[in-house]
Chain A
Amino acid sequence: MNILGISSNYHDSSAAIIVDGKVVASSAEERFTLQKHDPSFPEKSISFCLAKAGIKKHEIDLVVYHEDPHVKLSRTLSSAFKNFPKSLFTFIKSATEASTSTFWLKYEIAKHLGIDSKKIKFVPHHLSHSAHAFLTSGFDEAAVVTIDAVGEWTASCIFHGKKTASGFEIEPVELFPFPNSLGLVYSAFTAYLGFKVNDGECSTMALAAFGKPLYVDQMRKIIQVINEDVQIDLSYFDFTTDDKLPFNEKFFSVFKTARGVKEKYTFDCMNDDCLTVSESEQYYADIACSLQQVLEESILVIMKKAKRMTGSENLCYAGGVALNCVANSRILEENIFKKVYIPADPGDGGGAMGAALAGMLMHDCKKGEQISPYLGQKYEVESYLELIKNLDPSEWYRFSKINTKKLRKDQIEVTSYSTQEEFLNAVADLIANNQVVGFLNGRFENGPRALGNRSILCRADNIELAQHMSKMIKQRAGFRPYACAMTEDYADLCLETRYDGNLNKLMQASFKVKPDYVKHLRAGLHIDHTTRAQVVSESDNETFFNLLKKIGQKTGHEVLINTSFNEQGFPIVASPVEAMIMFSRTNLRYVAMGNVIVSKREKDV
């Protein structure tokens, strides 16, 4: 049976395909359109999924959409009329969406795919998330928690997933209805702190590490925990307008004015001594810290409730809030569950896979198994070599966003290696010699984390190099930390605590590094000396594991900074051409892909 999952029309559109119970391919649309968080219909992702599965459109048996758009419309219209007569524009927006999209969605999908609309089904948004988390966990039984901004009428939900004689089942046992949404409050504060909603939440989390929890009391008045229940005091917010920040006078009687979007934070996560910033900047860091603390408290309440209601020792967790790796670490530290699983893409980007799995669950689901995060497209580098050799870099410096050097054509060097062993040796040499290397290998990752197949890599002990990478390649704010990839053996040595489960394989939690190892990993650590570690085993990703081993042979430490292969404002690169676009627009000097290294011959960094 061929099941296609689709998520679209909000943010992070994606598609996934299951063939006879096996997830064959999945991708976010942004990887093909280069528009970050692309909300458009995932036409290119669908084409890729079908090609990968080797099936034609008419061979699709079932198409499952990640939410029920009609129920969602009932919420948006109710929200509009609830605030009558102050919500005319919200109403018009909802009505426009309904008339152009919601009412015709099934037929639009059918038209795109050229199939009968009867094959298209809608499933509740949180069921998509829960199916994604549970059916890829490999557990036979688990508490399944989804914490999101909103899906139809639900903000968060607790399910009980179990295997029965007839297959797998997921039953909702508790929910936290909209607008009591932790995700929405976190996003609202993200806007308050000057970051972009649905994009800058990771910046809010990163900023929190520089603050003190001075405003937790005020925060607890907004996010209230009453008898195992999380409630949001909405009297602080005004969600009826899209044009300004969603806060009202009551909010500003407690908190200062919002941080301007052009005001940059000067915190530096790589500098232990640089903690003196302006009073104003510190204030917003304290707000972020207080928010983070109260968010963690609330999540723990939900998790404990999930444990009590299901009696399970296993947790599967998804939804946008599950991307908060600091909160995820708290869940591990509290030891509420013996095993915790979070999929590679727990947010809406994973909605398509969740939808497909929910479809499988409802149809006939006999097995649930852990899946690889490398479900994207693979490209043959050889077919791009002639293009790369013909590139003329003499004008690149005029068209790059950051200051790059003028190059001659003979300064672009393409070196091919006959074996992967030689290739990895060369890459390891470059990295050991303090170079930053863009690394493109095999199928791209599912989700927002680069896990060694579309990564930018460099030594973890060279702070200057990492700062150069932030400024001249990634254009990344200094307060946002990088992550470290390391082998299992090295993780045993350098991390203070190790947990069972996949969280440290998919960069879903941050871990404290032992003091003795801080200097070896400092460029990849946050200000509190934690790292969002990716612990790599040979079975996870053989090529990347071998590279880490070679780095270990050359530097004595099997660890690297692993950051996503993209520049600011762009999604992670998918193809070699996109890698070359970044190569030409930034000061990235080396791109390693296939068994080829493309380099700029300039003076050393």
Chain B
Amino acid sequence: MKLKPTHFFIKFITPLIWKLFPQRKINAITRFSMIEKDSAVQLLECIRFTKDPKIQADLFQHVLEEFNHADLFESLAMSYSDKHLNLSIPSRENVITDTTTMEDFLKFYAYVHTGESDVNEDFELYAHASDDQLLRKIFLRVAMDETRHTVGTDKILVDLCDGNTRKARQLEIYSKIRRQYKMYTIAMKNIGQVVFNFYMAVLYFLIGPFVFQTARKQFRWNKREHLQFMQDQIAEAKNKI
């Protein structure tokens, strides 16, 4: 396995971060749980895109395994946490929609396939990011499953392309580029969020001293004022409708 930048990070930086900030470890494992569950749901959606019951049954099995991985990560995160996990995904990407064509679906499935091979390497490295035996066991178990999935998804992809291996490989390359682009956008978004947070912190301390009295005053509104506000709100909504 050649060492990619992300692999370097997982191998050398992650163990340090997880040791210093245990909550980061919980968050990371929780996120893996959510990603696995999301994969399961997206794969479940895939079932309707093929009429071949054999492929459908293979996809069903894949869904079960992804749900199982989500369970394993969730229980692992919960074992480290003293509070409930935040498992809600604020904005889910609906990859498969009613307007998805067979061609879109093939691209998506190729994306799933390349994802399986990527995470398989990542999970192997994560297994060594902590001394915890349970964590190691779970990550290795999931990595092993994902290795098997890579073979399975490759076969299904070729089957979905009606045996056209060349087309399957093209889709694979396309989805690898897409995956890289997605990683880039996520990184940029995170950097953007840090910059945004900085500006907001500055703004908070700049305007806070001038507006906090007004804010407190709003909390001292009496019921009549609140009722009037709601009546105005309703009247305004009615006018607009």
The answer to whether A84 and B208 touch (CB under 8 A), given A68-B233, A121-B237, A177-B223, is: yes
Chain B 82-139 residues near chain A, CB threshold 8 A? 82-84, 87-92, 94, 97-98
The answer to whether A95 and B68 touch (CB under 8 A), given A85-B205, A363-B241, is: no
Shortest Cβ gap from B145 to chain A (Å):
9
Chain B 209-241 residues near chain A, CB threshold 8 A? 209, 211-212, 214-216, 218-219, 221, 223, 226-227, 229-231, 233-234, 237-238, 240-241
Report the Cα distance A64→B240, complex, angstroms. 11
Stretch of B54-62, B161-169, B175-183 lying at the A interface: B54-62
Q: Are A123 and B237 in contact (CB under 8 A)?
A: yes
Per-position binary interface string of chain A over residues 563-576, scored 1 when its CB falls under 8 Å from any chain B CB and 0 otherwise = 00000010000000
Q: Are A577 and B47 in contact (CB under 8 A)?
A: yes
Per-position binary interface string of chain B over residues 22-50, scored 1 when its CB falls under 8 Å from any chain A CB and 0 otherwise = 00000000000000010011001001000
Residues of A within 8 Å of B229, CB to CB, are: 153
Residues of A within 8 Å of B223, CB to CB, are: 174-177
Neighbour of A71 across the interface among B57, B61, B233, CB < 8 A = B233
Residue from the set A37, A41, A79, A387 with the largest chain B CB neighbour count within 10 Å = A387
Interface status of A96 (Cβ within 8 A of chain B): yes
Residues of B within 8 Å of A179, CB to CB, are: 219
Interface status of A433 (Cβ within 8 A of chain B): no
Binding site secondary structure of chain B? helix
Report the Cα distance A510→B142, complex, angstroms. 45
Q: Are B226 and A175 in contact (CB under 8 A)?
A: yes
Interface status of A163 (Cβ within 8 A of chain B): no
Interface status of A399 (Cβ within 8 A of chain B): yes
Interface status of A362 (Cβ within 8 A of chain B): yes
Neighbour of A177 across the interface among B61, B90, B201, B226, CB < 8 A = B226
Instruction: Name the residue on A nearest B38 (C-beta).
Output: A35
Q: Are A577 and B60 in contact (CB under 8 A)?
A: yes
Report the Cα distance A127→B204, complex, angstroms. 33
Shortest Cβ gap from A258 to chain B (Å):
10
Stretch of A294-302, A322-330, A388-396 lying at the B interface: A388-396
Chain A 554-605 residues near chain B, CB threshold 8 A? 569, 577-578, 580-581, 584-585
Report the Cα distance A84→B216, complex, angstroms. 10
Shortest Cβ gap from A116 to chain B (Å):
14
Residue from the set A47, A172, A395, A578 with the largest chain B CB neighbour count within 10 Å = A172
The answer to whether A33 and B92 touch (CB under 8 A), given A157-B230, A577-B44, A581-B63, is: yes
Neighbour of B241 across the interface among A62, A77, A153, CB < 8 A = A62
Number of interface residues of A (CB under 8 A): 78
Q: Are A41 and B91 in contact (CB under 8 A)?
A: yes
Q: Are B230 and A387 in contact (CB under 8 A)?
A: no
Report the Cα distance A261→B61, complex, angstroms. 32
Residues of A within 8 Å of B97, CB to CB, are: 43-44, 47
Interface status of A401 (Cβ within 8 A of chain B): yes
Instruction: Name the residue on A nearest B51 (C-beta).
Output: A386
Neighbour of A585 across the interface among B67, B81, B90, B227, CB < 8 A = B67
Report the Cα distance A176→B222, complex, angstroms. 10
Chain A 101-153 residues near chain B, CB threshold 8 A? 121-124, 126-127, 152-153
Interface status of A260 (Cβ within 8 A of chain B): yes
Instruction: Name the residue on A nearest B71 (C-beta).
Output: A401
Interface status of B196 (Cβ within 8 A of chain A): yes
Shortest Cβ gap from A7 to chain B (Å):
15
Shortest Cβ gap from B207 to chain A (Å):
8
Q: Are B216 and A82 in contact (CB under 8 A)?
A: yes
Report the Cα distance A386→B47, complex, angstroms. 12
Q: Are B226 and A124 in contact (CB under 8 A)?
A: no
Report the Cα distance A177→B37, complex, angstroms. 39
Residues of B within 8 Å of A92, CB to CB, are: 197, 200-201, 204
The answer to whether A399 and B68 touch (CB under 8 A), given A81-B211, A154-B230, A577-B60, is: yes
Per-position binary interface string of chain A over residues 38-69, scored 1 when its CB falls under 8 Å from any chain B CB and 0 otherwise = 11110110010001000000000010100010
Give the A-binding residues of B (Cβ under 8 A). Answer: 37, 40-41, 44, 47, 53-54, 56-57, 60-61, 63-65, 67-68, 71, 74, 78, 81-84, 87-92, 94, 97-98, 193, 196-197, 200-201, 203-205, 208-209, 211-212, 214-216, 218-219, 221, 223, 226-227, 229-231, 233-234, 237-238, 240-241
A-B pairs with the 6 shortest C-beta distances? A81-B215, A399-B68, A84-B212, A386-B53, A390-B57, A78-B215
Query: Can you report 28 residue pairs joining A to B where beta carbons are below 8 Å apart?
Result: A35-B87, A35-B88, A35-B89, A68-B233, A71-B233, A79-B215, A80-B215, A81-B214, A82-B215, A82-B218, A84-B211, A84-B215, A92-B200, A95-B196, A99-B196, A124-B233, A171-B231, A172-B234, A174-B227, A175-B227, A196-B84, A261-B84, A362-B241, A390-B56, A391-B61, A392-B57, A577-B44, A581-B60
